[in-house]
Amino acid sequence: MPKRSELTISKQSVDRLSVDEKETVFWDRELPGFGVRVYPSGSKTYVVQSRGPNGIRRVTLGRHGEITAEEARKQAAAAVARIKQGEDPVARPLKRALTVAELAERYMEAHVKVRCNAHTQGIYAGSLRNHILPKFGAMAVASVGREEVAAFHYGLRETPRAANRALMVLSKIFSLAEAWGMAPASGNPCRFVLRYKEGRRERFLTEEEYRRVGLALCELEAEGPAQARAAAALRLIMLTGCRRGEVLTLRWSDVDRKSGEFRLRDAKTGARMVPLTPTASQVLTGITRVRRSPWVFPGKRPDRHLSDLSPYWQRVRERAEVEDVRIHDLRHSFASRALALGLALPMIGRLLGHTDIGSTARYAHLSQDAEKIAVARVGDSIEADIVRAAGAGHAGGHEPSPATPA
């Protein structure tokens, strides 16, 4: 135990302290174990030393000037008491529990924004914003259990697709948290929560509906430059079968008129080339380029692309009286028309950018319908020839002779 000195540690007394060659500790006369270490360089640090069940402990409290003598004295008194109790001389701040919102933010920054395209990022962000964070955001990660997740999923049962998507996003967050060592001790709470069955929605435009949509797009185009760009984007979706995000993120540098195609950099299944039909090429030619903007469909700011077609499509489908048709249904309609024209499923899959034939297989029943129609047409044609031949036979007097009575 250091000897008590005649020094009372204060700002003024510490300011006056100095040593020539060797660092020295000056101890306070009022609080045993509280001292200040003075170095030949003039640097001074507050220290505390005391004996407890675990022996002598000495701790540096801080540099003179960065903490005051009064603050150091208070810390020293608390440290002496903890040492005598056999505790850590420095009180460690309690580690605050990680919240789901904080974990989700890390997941979006470290994983989704690095590994996922803009379309997927938007899906995940929307599910977090609309469903997950309002329910779990303020909760500690460790407090989220399977019962809470199951109740959350059940609460969204009226919208099974949104419920399943939220469950999927939440499960991915907790799965990555396991790899980071941040998951609850019980593991991923989303595991074993059964998803709802989702009815596959199919809606295809008829020839008459295509005509009405075309007229509505012309009306939208006449309303102004922004509306004209939106109409062009919708036309390009209809003519190519591309996804909405693939068209909206198209850059002028990706359009190759010589080869008659354009490149999708950020397609859902990876970069790919899309053939340009003469009509699609005409749509691109009719778009007025915005100066200093790389985007074919720029937004309000030239450095950003158009992000939302929904308000424009809402007007189009009301005018065309196709209120139940989503923008994504235009892609389904493209596949439906391709099948009607006789294209095989593998070819349609390539046009739509599918990497898995299973994604295109959803249109198999349309292929069967097309085959039935084709067979019916062939049958009708043959039947017409048979009927004509039969009629000619009757006209030539080749009626069968009546049977001789027995």
The model's pLDDT over 83-112, given as tens digits with 9 standing for 90+, comes to: 888 887 776 655 678 899 999 999 999 888
* Cα radius of gyration rounded to whole Å, the chain: 38
Distance CA 406, CA 392 (A): 31
AA identity, residue 251: R
Averaged pLDDT score across all residues of the chain: 82
The pLDDT of residue 127 is 94
Q: Order of strands across the sheet with 272-275? A: 255-256, 261-264, 272-275
Segment 121-127 shows an average pLDDT of 90
71 Rama class: left (phi>0) / alpha (psi -120 to 50) / beta: alpha
Cα angle at 148 between 143 and 153, to 5 degrees?
140
Higher-confidence position of 405 and 52:
52
Exposed, middle or buried by CB within 10 Å (0-12, 13-18, 19+), for 31? middle
Burial class (CB in 10 A: 0-12, 13-18, 19+), 138: exposed
Nearest-angstrom CA–CA distance, 230 and 330: 15
Q: How far apart are CA 262 and CA 276, in angstroms?
A: 7
User: Mean of the pLDDT values across residues 7-33?
Assistant: 91
Strand ranges, E, within 189-271: 255-256, 261-264
Question: What are 132-150's pLDDT values in tens digits?
Answer: 999 999 999 888 999 999 9
Alpha-carbon distance of 242 to 368, in angstroms, equals 24
Confidence (pLDDT) at 406:
37
Those residues with Cβ within 8 angstroms of residue 15's Cβ, 6 or more apart along the chain or in another chain: none
- Look at residue 58 and tell me whether its pLDDT is greater than 80: yes
Residues 187-222: tens digit of each pLDDT: 889 988 999 887 666 778 888 998 999 999 999 999
- Least confidently predicted of 131-145, 187-201, 297-311, 318-332: 187-201
Predicted pLDDT at 179: 78
What percent of the chain clears pLDDT 90, i.e. is strictly above it?
Answer: 35
Distance between CA atoms of 40 and 248, rounded to whole angstroms? 68
CA distance 392 to 355: 55
Q: What is the pLDDT of residues 230-260, one digit of tens each?
A: 999 999 998 888 888 888 988 999 888 888 8
CB half-sphere exposure, 193, CA atoms < 13 A: 23
Q: How confident is the model at residue 363 (pLDDT cuts 50, 70, 90)?
A: low
List b or e across 219-228, with b for residues whose CB sees 16 or more CB atoms inside 10 angstroms. ebbeeeeebb
Q: What is the pLDDT of residue 401?
A: 46
Residue 152 and residue 69: Cα distance in Å, rounded? 54
- Give the confidence band of 116 by pLDDT, cuts at 50, 70, 90: confident
Confidence band (pLDDT; 50, 70, 90) for 403?
very low
| Position 370 pLDDT exceeds 60 | no
Q: Give me the torsion for CA of 280, 286, 288, 294, rounded to 10°.
A: 20
